[in-house]
Amino acid sequence: MKDKVKEILENYNNLLNKLDNPEITNDYNVVNKINREVKTIKPVAEKGLEYLKVLDDLNSSKEMINQAGLDSELKEMAKIELAYLSEILPNLEEDLRLLLLPKDPNDTKDCFIEVRAGTGGDEAGIFAGDLFRMYQRYADIKNFKLEIIDFNESEKGGFKEIVISISGEEAFGLFKYESGVHRVQRVPETETNGRVHTSAATVAVLPQVDDVEIDIKDEDLRIDIFRSGGAGGQNVNKVETAVRMIHLPSGIVVSCQDERSQLKNREKAMKVLKSRLYELEQKKQQDEIASSRKSMVKTGDRSEKIRTYNYPQNRVTDHRLEGDDKNFSLRDIIEGNLDLVIEKLKIAERTELLKTSIDL
């Protein structure tokens, strides 16, 4: 572990030196990327310095104890120091193991969230609207900035689909646990016999990527301009400002109609497209990784059922957790208190990674 810590400290100092380099200070994307890396490594570097100091102090104490002709009182003090340092060293090593677990480099990025109604007809659309409002409340709690990129409203309320952007510290690192199929069990307002129905919505969370990470050729794009839709009245744009982008090689289609400016809609649509292409590339890479190295706590598979919202029993069950840890108050979760479940998912993920990680 000592060699690993020294390697990290060297990398950390190199990054700090790069930030002082006047040649890159005017390049926002590069500076932003280095700052994210510094922020990620800093906790490890600080704990690593503490760890190396304890190792040095341990060696000094041992040398004092073995030193011939040294005053007996000083030797006794060295023994006390040695005992204390030997006691705290295992805790420091455990802290470092946790900090050195593989981290998703995207955790520090902003993100896009795509919520789509699944099985269940009108009720699925209403549920998709409920999920959107849940994320809206969570974003407010975390002081994140939320913007609507695109939406398609459902006839009975809610959305057939809605795409939003979330900006804030560790936005993707928190919201990524929402990717997957969300299932709801409740009595719909249209149900006259009081029967409980099961509906579903899918959630995809994508990290927002920097321009330097994804390069899209002009000839690979088809861009259509159309008139924005909405709930009617002043919400309907009478000018063609909405933008639809089609990436021809992949077939990915992205729309943005939130802004009244065609240019702003184009910029937002491009960001979403780059994030989807980035996710596509990441999935290819992840598929190549041996299954034994994958975490049991899935955070990116949009086809996996991850959570059930049971209204009659006022209970939310997260199927990635076990025992009593998997059940939560439905009222708390729907009101946006997602940290209750996200923190438990983080702990479960770290625990699983510790089991499978190679000893340092």
pLDDT digits (tens, 9 = 90+) for 103-125: 788 888 899 999 999 988 899 99
137 half-sphere exposure, CB direction, 13 A CA radius: 14
Residue 153 CA: distances (Å) to CA of 33, 156, 187: 37, 9, 21
Per the model's pLDDT, the better-predicted residue between 260 and 167 turns out to be 167
Range list of β-strands (E), 132-277: 145-153, 159-167, 180-186, 197-207, 221-226, 242-247, 252-256
Q: What CATH number has the domain spanning 218-287?
A: 3.30.160.20
pLDDT of res. 229? 63
pLDDT score of 58 more than 60: yes
User: Which residue in this structure is represented by tokens 């709930």?
Assistant: 231
- In this prediction, residue 52 has a pLDDT band, given cuts at 50, 70 and 90, of very high
Q: What is the pTM of this model?
A: 0.68
SS3 at position 286: helix
Closest CA relative to residue 142, chosen from 330, 277, 343: 343
Q: Which CATH class is domain 111-210+298-354?
A: alpha beta
Per the model's pLDDT, the better-predicted residue between 291 and 241 turns out to be 241
Question: What's the mean pLDDT when you consider all of the chain?
Answer: 84
Alpha helices in the chain (DSSP H): 2-19, 28-66, 72-99, 122-141, 171-175, 262-287, 330-334, 339-356
User: Which residue in this structure is represented by tokens 């199927």?
Assistant: 319
b/e per residue, 105-123, with b = 16+ CB within 10 A? ebbbbbbbbbbbbeebebb
SS3 at position 257: coil
DSSP β-bridge partners for residue 115: 162, 203
Per the model's pLDDT, the better-predicted residue between 289 and 81 turns out to be 81
CA geometry: angle 141, 147, 152, nearest 5 deg: 115
Radius of gyration of the chain (CA): 26
At 223, the amino acid letter reads I
User: Which residue in this structure is represented by tokens 């380099």?
Assistant: 21
pLDDT score of 201 more than 70: yes
Closest CA relative to residue 125, chosen from 37, 199, 225, 58: 199
CB 178 within 8 A of CB 247: no
pLDDT score of 232 more than 60: no
CA distance 313 to 307: 14
Phi, psi of 21 (to 5 degrees): -80, 115
